Structure 1
Amino acid sequence: MAVPAVHASAALALIQPDIARATEDLLLPLAALNPAYDMVAEAAPLEFSVLFLYLGGLLALLGFGTFLVVRQVLVKRELENAAKELQERVRSGEASSEEYFELGAIMVRKKFFSLANKYLELAIAKWEGDEQELAQVYNALGFSYFSEDKFKEAVKAYEKAVSLQPAYVTGWNNLGDALERQKEWARALKAYDTALVYDPSNRIAAGRAKDLKQRVERLRY
């Protein structure tokens, strides 16, 4: 049975539709009633042109918003179908380590974190692929633990991720975030500094490192 390919990044993606409302003004031919309204009558074509442009822009926004809503529905449906088929493969004992990973990522997206932990840990136990790619599984597991406020477990998972893939900037940033939640400021700063070694322009790491340096300096005195 073919299983739709669902990557962890797609499973974690969030889409927020935009909502817009339009109002329309009515113009009356007042010049026909009183010559004093000639200027208003002459300006009316221009006002109508501006109004049409305005409404056209709003319709474009509404169209884009509708597109996002439809896309959100399609993504949700795709995830539901993928989860169903992947769970069938798990029950039959045919699921690969990559499929456990995909199913775990889907459960993270659906905020079923206990199930996510279960499938991601099974993916790790059964992993037969490249060790650097396994870092992504540990990162997803860390995110799932983090979402449950299990910061100690999240730190362990993130540490494993960056040990497998030292240049994994996202993993270092996530590790720093989890360490901050545990108020381990110095270790968190080290994690962000390491992220900056591999990506000096990373805004998240740079911003957090700046704040933590000030905090660590204050604690020294």
Structure 2
Amino acid sequence: MPGWGTPGRWGVGLSSAAGISVSQPSDEDERRCRNFLHKFSALPCCTMAWLSTSQPAESSVGAKINAVYEVGELFELGIQLSYLLILLGLLGAGSFFVVRQVLVRRELDLSAKELQEQVRSGDASATEYFELGAVMLRRKFYPAAIKYLQQAIQKWDRDEQDLAQVSYSPVYNALGVSYKRDNKLDKAIQQFEKAVELQPGYVTAWNNLGDAYELKKDLKNALKAFEEVLLFDPNNKVARPRRDDLRQRVGMYKGVPVKTEKR
């Protein structure tokens, strides 16, 4: 019986009989196989190279994002600090104003107490009555201010021209302000008229007179008073805008007769 691996009697082996062709690989096949293995082995290297190059790019993007966040946080912190500084400034200004008001009030109270003691003793002069009236005016005790200012006028032993120059503000002007603050406009106007009669160049009294006339809705006389101010002080910041406004309101653009012209 022929062997399994040797040709039989018909010169055909078992493999041939089974229909399977067995042959040796050619050089071309070996070359293709080597190229395939080489490409497959190179794939992980390419992948690692791509990953290694993508990591710095991602790091750069992350750094930029972090920088943007840091800038945003610094900007927000700056805004918060600005608000805090503004708040502290407002609190400081408010505290200063309150403290100043308290100190002024305390000073006025002490002055009023001292002057009232002199008045009660009967030794007060006209000047001290005037000072006490001025203190009461600043404290907004208008009836008391009117009382002491009237007593100052009664006790003044000089002529009225000197009376208009008493202390830092004329007594008639102070009395007129007290009446005006107490809503007694007619009496206020009388006092302001007296003040400017004694001292024609007294622009403060003229301004007060114009304001009192305007409050009384007497626009023409108010305009005359402010025109008078500008004769003595052409750049007066109180009278000029008031004069211009009143000119429009009463329909006068060429000026009005003023009391100085009559004198």
TM-score using structure 2 length: 0.63
Q: Which residue of 1 aligns with 2:139?
A: 110
Shift of 1:180: 2.5
- Give per-residue Cα distances to partners, 1:24-82, cap 9 Å, x unaligned: xxxxxxxxxx9785121343234324433442343233222211111111111111111
Helix, strand or coil: the match of 2:170?
helix
Shift of 1:149: 1.8
How does 1:1-221 map onto structure 2 within 5 Å? 38=66, 39-128=68-157, 130-134=162-166, 136-217=170-251
Helix, strand or coil: the match of 1:133?
coil
**Contact 2:163-2:170 within 8 A present in 1 as well:** no
Looking at structure 2, the residues matched to 80 and 35 of structure 1 have their Cα atoms a distance apart, in angstroms, of: 68
More off after superposition, 122-131 vs 104-113: 122-131
Opposite residue 174 of structure 1, the aligned amino acid is N
Helix, strand or coil: the match of 1:203?
coil
Looking at structure 1, the residues matched to 128 and 150 of structure 2 have their Cα atoms a distance apart, in angstroms, of: 12
Structure 1: runs of 5 or more not aligned: 1-33
Shift of 1:138: 0.7
Looking at structure 1, the residues matched to 71 and 218 of structure 2 have their Cα atoms a distance apart, in angstroms, of: 70
Opposite residue 80 of structure 1, the aligned amino acid is D
- Give per-residue Cα distances to partners, 1:145-171, cap 9 Å, x unaligned: 111221111111001111122111111
Change in CA separation of 1:182 and 1:65 when aligned onto 2, cut-off 3 Å: closer
Looking at structure 1, the residues matched to 178 and 155 of structure 2 have their Cα atoms a distance apart, in angstroms, of: 19
Looking at structure 2, the residues matched to 145 and 57 of structure 1 have their Cα atoms a distance apart, in angstroms, of: 41
Equivalences, count = 185
Opposite residue 149 of structure 1, the aligned amino acid is N
Change in CA separation of 1:117 and 1:42 when aligned onto 2, cut-off 3 Å: closer
Larger Cα-atom Rg: 2
TM-score using structure 1 length: 0.74
**Contact 2:164-2:172 within 8 A present in 1 as well:** no
Say what the alpha-carbon RMSD is for the aligned residues: 2.4
Looking at structure 2, the residues matched to 181 and 66 of structure 1 have their Cα atoms a distance apart, in angstroms, of: 35
Structure 2: runs of 5 or more not aligned: 1-61, 253-263
Looking at structure 2, the residues matched to 62 and 128 of structure 1 have their Cα atoms a distance apart, in angstroms, of: 50
Q: Which residue of 1 aligns with 2:19?
A: none
Segments of 4+ moved more than 6 angstroms: none
Change in CA separation of 1:43 and 1:196 when aligned onto 2, cut-off 3 Å: same
Looking at structure 2, the residues matched to 193 and 64 of structure 1 have their Cα atoms a distance apart, in angstroms, of: 38
Looking at structure 2, the residues matched to 63 and 208 of structure 1 have their Cα atoms a distance apart, in angstroms, of: 35
